[in-house]
Each structure stands twice: as structure tokens, then as C-alpha cells.
Amino acid sequence: MTSSLHAQNVVALVWDFDKTLIPGYMQDPIFAAYGVDAKTFWNEVNALPAHFARAGVRVHPDTTYLNHLITYAHHGRFPGLNNARLRELGRAIAFHAGLPEFFDTVRTSLADLPVEIRVEHYIVSTGLRAMIEGCAIRPFVDGIWASEFIESAPLPGFGPSDAPAVGGTISQIAVAYDNTSKTRALFEINKGSNRDDAIDVNATMRAEDRRVPFEHMIYIADGPSDVPAFSLLGKNGGSTLAVYDEQSDRSFAQAERLRHEGRVEYFGPANYAPTSPTARWLILRVRQIAQRILDARDAAVRDRVGAAPKHLG
């Protein structure tokens, strides 16, 4: 009889950030702090792919804004912008109703179960990791996948004993997440490579050895840009939820279209107050997944442990 590598007793909620956990974009506090018009910045970002294409250069639309933030920082629009400043500005991020308290509410919703089943919350975003680290929801989160900056890059000839330079202004992109690379984060959660450096996300692994099976995951996001992640979970038995802005007919129609096309199981308002349909559906689904875990354990016990002998009548 073989044993599995993990207990598989985790229910993972994987969250997009912008428009899912917050009403707008996390970068808004940057523009407010430096007196920069956000609309002008994003218009420039949207024009960059065509601008570079005229020179025969292709850029990725999801991550072009990262380089433009660096350009603004080095041309006096965001003077002194670094990771510490981004974490500080993250404190100004305002969340949808019910957050961040809802993250703990989900965890305590399983307190009555006879065995420990853990709830873990993860954020997977094309936004800025430093800002998420500085915001109010960080203490409730078990892991973050988001874009990062380098401040002072090592110069040519640096040695292994040289201490990394910290401070200064953001100068390079350390890692950039786009909408398709979000699926890698799901595989890392699935295999447990986010918890154990010895596990390579590209290594083969039996289904019973994976730390969080896809069917134990729920992915929550707001729009078509998350279709790759929705699709990965949908094809592997996971749960998917699209949220919409309660004040926007366009946002509502977008979420309903995702449901109509079979991209998501359910859609609801981006409101996580206890009585909202979104909060109630998420807690219901978490409990349903937890019950499946318990049922599977009971079935395994019955399969592996024989019946005790009894006196014959």
C-alpha cells in the first residue's frame, strides 16, 4: 500500500485583486500621491504596443505598464519610488464591503467539522506585490503572486559576496505576471511547490501526491482576462466565480456572459458582507468541498480497514 505525500486537507481560495477585492486599480494611490493623472498614464500604456510595433518591437500588453512606471520614476514623475514606498502606498488601498474580515469568516466556517480542514487564501495578480504586501488584507493571505521591481541592480563584475543593494528608485522588473502566467501559480499551489522548494512545479507528480487538488480550489476574479485560470480549474473539477461591480450594468453583463459561455459556475456582486449572495455562495462551496474531503477519507478507511469479526447468531 502506498501513502500519499500530502494529507490533501486544504481548501484554497485563489483571488484576483483589481476589481475583485477592490473597486478600482491598486496603482491609484501612486497617482494620487504624486499628483499624476491616472487616465493620462493608462492612455499612454495602452498606446505603447502600437508605438513599439512601428519600430518592429513586440511588447506584452499585460505588463507594459511596469516599464512605464519605471520610466515615470526615472523622469521625475514618481521621484524616489521604490518598494518601501509602494508598500507604504498600499496602506491607502480600499477594499470592497466585507473585506478583509471575510477571509477569516471563511476559515471559521469549518470550525464545526470533526477533523481539521484548512482554508488558505492566495492572491494572484498582474499588479504590484509590494503594494499588496502593504495593504490591509496582507495578514489574512497565505501567499502572493504578483509583479515585482528591482531597485538597484548589481553592476558588471559583482561578486557572490556582494550584498544586494537596497533602496534607490525602481530600475528593473524582477518578475512580471500576465494573465496566462497566473495558471503557473495555480500549478504551484496544486503541487505544493510554493511551500516546499524541493518540489519543482514542472516535475511529474501523482494526483494523490498533490498538496491541493484542483477540485479543492476556488478561483475568484472579475473579467475575461482571467479566462485561462477559469479554464484550467473548470477542466479539472475546480470551482470558479466571476464578480461584478454592483453599480455597473456593463460589469454585470460581462460576468453574466462568462457564466453563459460556461467560463464560470456562478457570478455575484463584488460584495463580501455576510449576507451578500457572493459571500454565502463561497462559504457554501467551501463547506461542500470540505464535505467531499471528509467523505473521501471515510471511504478510504472503509476500503483499507477490514470489518471486525463478530459472534455468529
Q: What is the 3-state secondary structure (H, E, C) of 249-305?
A: HHHHHHHHHHHHCCCCCEEEECCCCCCCHHHHHHHHHHHHHHHHHHHHHHHHHHHHC
Average pLDDT over residues 260-268: 95
pLDDT band, residue 312 (cuts 50/70/90): low
**75, three cell numbers:** 523622469
Which domains does the chain possess? Answer: 10-24+96-156+176-304 (3.40.50.1000)
pLDDT band, residue 49 (cuts 50/70/90): very high
DSSP letters along 41-110, please? Answer: HHHHHHHHHHHHHTTT----TTTHHHHHHHHHHHTTSSTT--HHHHHHHHTT----TTTTHHHHHHHHTT
Most confident of 90-94, 112-116, 309-313: 90-94
Average pLDDT over residues 118-127: 97
Mean pLDDT score of the chain, rounded to an integer?
93
119 CB neighbour count, 10 Å cutoff: 21
